[in-house]
Amino acid sequence: MNSSYLSVENVSITFDTDSGPLNVLDDVSLKVERGEFISLIGHSGCGKSTVLNIVAGLLQASIGGVLLENREVTEPGPDRAVVFQNHSLLPWLSVYDNVRLAVDQVFGRSKSRQERHQWTLHNLELVHMGHAIGQRPDQISGGMKQRVGIARALAMQPKVLLMDEPFGALDSLTRTHMQDSLMEIQARLNNTVIMITHDVDEAVLLSDRIVMMSNGPSARIGEILAVDLPRPRDRLPLADDPAYNHYRAEVLRFLHERHARPDVPTSNVGGDDQVEPEERPTRLKLAAG
């Protein structure tokens, strides 16, 4: 078998719910190379977070599993840092201490106190938060909190950075800045990233490949789009770039077609994926615009 850096292998998962078993993922397989930036996109409730949580080790697949450098993932670990949409900082700790805590957990034995201090500062500088190290989370903006969350994840030097709609709660200008910083950091550190997004432009701008999931239940990987745009990528010239617009249209086409012709039976549908049909195109339009 061809071994990859990260391999999601034939993953299926079924949850027990009040209305019976709910099969959310059906035979999902994905191979990710080291340094690759992957986006996961698909309609609300299809199972994107479930995929990410299985890779994170927070959920166990019912069938199949995940290999990272040929070792099976069985539990959460610092080699797979997760950044959630709602920056999960500890509110009573300063910006510095939020990052330092993670640094101490991962490098408590391997780095000296002084090295851990420098490493904490270095990662906060990387996300341009060096000026606010003494502030508490309630004293900084949402975008700044998200930066600290990313600094904390990067500081753990994870093999894989897992991001679940990391910029979803931010205003569009802040989001733009965060996307640019993430591209810059990834170019510098060559992180392997899996990011969930609902934003088609964000997916095309940032990704090497976009993994498009079919609607649930029993969601699968519908298509994978390789985004062959040279880096560094600059959003302004790309707006008029035919290749960029082609990729963008491909993703929109997938999402709209999946919406128009769901390829799944309507029985056994449950959970929070019951978005009213007329809401979905609006959401896509918003995400794309």
Ligand X SMILES: Nc1ncnc2c1ncn2[C@@H]1O[C@H](COP(=O)(O)OP(=O)(O)OP(=O)(O)O)[C@@H](O)[C@H]1O
Q: Does 271 bind ligand X (CB under 6 A)?
A: yes
Q: Which of residues 203-262 bind ligand X (CB under 6 A)?
A: 216
- Distance (Å) of CA 257 to CA 199, 212, 223, 249, 254: 17, 12, 12, 12, 5
Decide which of Mg ion, ligand X, none touches 240; Cβ closer than 5 to 8 Å per partner kind.
Answer: none
Q: Which of residues 50-69 bind ligand X (CB under 6 A)?
A: 50
Of 200, 199, 181, 201, nearest to 191 (Cα)?
181
Other C-beta atoms closer than 10 Å to the C-beta of 86 total: 14
**Cβ distance to Mg ion smaller for residue 49 or 207:** 49
**Cβ distance to ligand X smaller for residue 123 or 207:** 207
Q: Interface with Mg ion by CB under 5 A: which range of 27-35, 44-52, 64-72, 204-212?
A: 44-52
Quote the tokens at residue 193: 């990233």
Decide which of ligand X, Mg ion, none touches 5; Cβ closer than 5 to 8 Å per partner kind.
Answer: none
Decide which of ligand X, Mg ion, none touches 158; Cβ closer than 5 to 8 Å per partner kind.
Answer: none
**Residue 283 DSSP SS3:** helix
**Cβ distance to ligand X smaller for residue 58 or 238:** 58
Signed CA dihedral, 188, 193, 196, 202: sign only? positive
Binding track, positions 46-65, relative to Mg ion; x by CB under 5 A: ---x----------------
Q: Which residues pair with 32 in a beta bridge?
A: 6
**Cβ distance to ligand X smaller for residue 245 or 274:** 274
**192-196 and 37-41 strand pairing:** parallel
CB contact at 8 A, 4 and 31? yes
Q: Interface with ligand X by CB under 6 A: which range of 105-113, 221-229, 245-253, 266-274?
A: 266-274
Decide which of ligand X, Mg ion, none touches 287; Cβ closer than 5 to 8 Å per partner kind.
Answer: none
Decide which of Mg ion, ligand X, none touches 168; Cβ closer than 5 to 8 Å per partner kind.
Answer: none
Contact partners, residue 109, CB within 8 Å, separation at least 6: none
CA–CA distance, 141 with 199 (Å, rounded to integer): 22
Q: Which of residues 101-160 bind Mg ion (CB under 5 A)?
A: none
Q: How far is the CB of 45 from Mg ion (least distance, A)?
A: 8
Looking up tokens 């995929």 gives 51
CA–CA distance, 167 with 58 (Å, rounded to integer): 21
Q: Which of residues 16-45 bind ligand X (CB under 6 A)?
A: 17, 22, 24, 42, 44-45
CB contact at 8 A, 32 and 192? yes
The footprint of Mg ion (CB under 5 A) covers 49
User: Using CB under 6 A as the criterion, which residues of the chain lie in contact with ligand X when the complex forms?
Assistant: 15, 17, 22, 24, 42, 44-50, 216, 271-273
